Chains A and B, each alone.
Chain A
Amino acid sequence: MTLTASLETTAAVHLDGVVKRYGTVTAVDSIDLRIRPGEVVALLGPNGAGKTTTVDMLLGLTRPDAGTVTIHGLSPRDAVARGRISAVMQTGGLLKDYTVEETVRLTAVLFGKPRSAVKAALERAGIADIGDRLVGKCSGGQQQRLRFAMALLPDPDLLILDEPTTGMDVGGRREFWDAIRQDAADGRTVIFATHYLEEADAYADRIVLVRRGRIVADGTAAEVKALAAGRTVRATLPGADRIDWAAVPGVESSEVRGDTVHLHGRDSDTIARHLLTETEARDLEITSRNLEDAFLTLTAEDPA
């Protein structure tokens, strides 16, 4: 088996040149994305960036105008029907006059799962105690955990969360993410769309930043931050003002304040290596700007 073939079969998600248009608006503009099993990926972007459209295509709710979407090598509809992929949607999707337990039981019936699976899903989502409550009488957080229980029922390989904590209070948000984290620790792949930077930063192994239907950055939280704003290397170096910093590899801008030098650049490793091997610099400190700066820089509208 060649390396590419093995990648092909093991990718949890593979988007290849995916395009989706609504009339004259291009919601998703040629996205290529490969997600490995077990990754926790944040799809981060401002409203209207194409996150929900991308999620809809992953779930087979919308068909791309061009390109292909595969989930573990299957078409999205097949992956849904076989319970390989499931989702917690942002709002709606519940009937008020079902009880919590009935809603999960119905899902179990549709997936051909036994009664015991209902109990297990309710317990994992932390709503076993409110099984008899009517959905219409549940709080927003409880309803979200009900959606989570429904999504867990087919025991999917891949779980999609579309803006999952919208409308939850801080406590609810925390509990929800704790449940997801625990779940992902067992090897489930998780993709979540969000516009909360803190959530992406705190819970994702990998951040895919989208803007106007395109991926503008893809990497770990640290990499994405570095991409936009670079990092700053600060060092103490007497006589720093006598050095031509612009000639140093990796340095994009510099600032000298007395014996302290601040060097900005995307490749902070090279700058640090230079400082430590070629100069007498000490007290090195490397900092990245926060994700919010990166987000704003990368998703800013073009000045055009």
Chain B
Amino acid sequence: MTTQALPIGMIGLEIRRLARNKRTLIFTLVMPAAFFLLFGSSAEYRTTRVGEGNLTGYILVSMAVYGAMLAATSGGAMVSIERAAGWSRQLRLTPLTPAAYIAIKIIVAMIVGAIAVVAVNVVGAFSGAELPIGAWIGCALLAWVCSLVFAAFGLFMGYLLPSENVMQILGPALAVLSFAGGLFVPADQLGSTFATISKFTPVYGVGELARYPLTHAGDVWLAVLNVLAWTALFAAGAMWRFRRDTARV
């Protein structure tokens, strides 16, 4: 057999296709950076200290999480468009296994996620964000790795929603989840009830973990539990829909 279990050559082609989609680019690369400049780079924020860095750095990490989240979700949600176009069915006429297809989708989602994290951080570096170098790398890596939960979320939604414009639903949904998870505004500023609810929403864990290298604050284990629980839940959901889908097609 000349075919590979995981066709690496497919990844480059997929990235090339994604790069052609202007909406995806604006969504995942431009918007988080713009939000950072808008909400995080004021003179007041630059002088407010957070841990060993400044508040601008803190917002930078949050926006990196947001960017990675959007990228990973839209990467995963690509399955929706591909199912609607009959592409998944076409792929079933090739040696590509359904599991390898999902693996490719996740890898592509994570690559775009990495680009999104890098983009926000580069903008941040030139706009007054201050973090110790170790914390900077740690935050960026955690923001990226934790966005895996949203790759699973995107896949699940991609299988659940048959819409061609699935990101038009998921974009606002992610914004709401980001507010609920304290990514845009710290949850405890919005009252104690809200802060409690916040801990159970999917963005909370990712945000807390990604900011930990900078803040060294918050309950790390609760955040880890949050990320693991939501990843498991979304992955199980995606698996469930995926099985139904391949049984039918």
Inter-chain contact B90/A93, CB cutoff 8 Å = yes
Question: B95-127, CB under 8 A of A: which get 1 and which 0?
Answer: 110000000000000000000000000000000
With contact pairs A89-B86, A97-B21, A102-B13 given, residues A80 and B94 touching in the complex (Cβ less than 8 Å)? yes
Inter-chain contact A111/B87, CB cutoff 8 Å = no
With contact pairs A109-B7, A112-B2 given, residues A93 and B96 touching in the complex (Cβ less than 8 Å)? no
With contact pairs A95-B17, A97-B20, A102-B17 given, residues A110 and B7 touching in the complex (Cβ less than 8 Å)? yes
Chain A hits for B90, CB < 8 A: 89, 92-94, 150
Count how many chain A residues have C-beta atoms less than 8 Å from C-beta atoms of the other chain: 28
Question: B3-28, CB under 8 A of A: which get 1 and which 0?
Answer: 11001011001001100110000000
With the chains together, A95 CA to B164 CA distance in Å?
12
Contact with A110, one of B17, B85, B95, B249 (Cβ below 8 angstroms): B95
With the chains together, A97 CA to B25 CA distance in Å?
14
Inter-chain contact A112/B4, CB cutoff 8 Å = yes
Inter-chain contact B85/A93, CB cutoff 8 Å = yes
Inter-chain contact B10/A106, CB cutoff 8 Å = yes
**Distance (whole angstroms) from the CB of B24 to the closest CB of chain A:** 10
> Which residue of A has the minimal Cβ distance to B94?
A110
Inter-chain contact B94/A107, CB cutoff 8 Å = yes
CB of B1 within 8 A of chain A? Answer: yes
CB of B93 within 8 A of chain A? Answer: yes
> Which residue of A has the minimal Cβ distance to B81?
A95
With the chains together, A93 CA to B92 CA distance in Å?
10
**Distance (whole angstroms) from the CB of A175 to the closest CB of chain B:** 22
> Which residue of A has the minimal Cβ distance to B24?
A97
Inter-chain contact B3/A112, CB cutoff 8 Å = yes
Inter-chain contact B16/A102, CB cutoff 8 Å = yes
CB of A245 within 8 A of chain B? Answer: no
With the chains together, A120 CA to B4 CA distance in Å?
22
With the chains together, A91 CA to B89 CA distance in Å?
11
Interface residues of B (CB under 8 A from A): 1-4, 7, 9-10, 13, 16-17, 20-21, 81-82, 85-87, 89-96, 249
Interface residues of A (CB under 8 A from B): 59-61, 80-83, 86-87, 89, 91-98, 102, 105-107, 109-113, 150
New contact pairs (14) apart from A61-B93, A112-B2, CB-CB < 8 Å = A82-B95, A92-B86, A92-B87, A93-B90, A95-B85, A96-B85, A97-B17, A106-B9, A109-B13, A110-B3, A110-B10, A112-B1, A112-B95, A113-B2
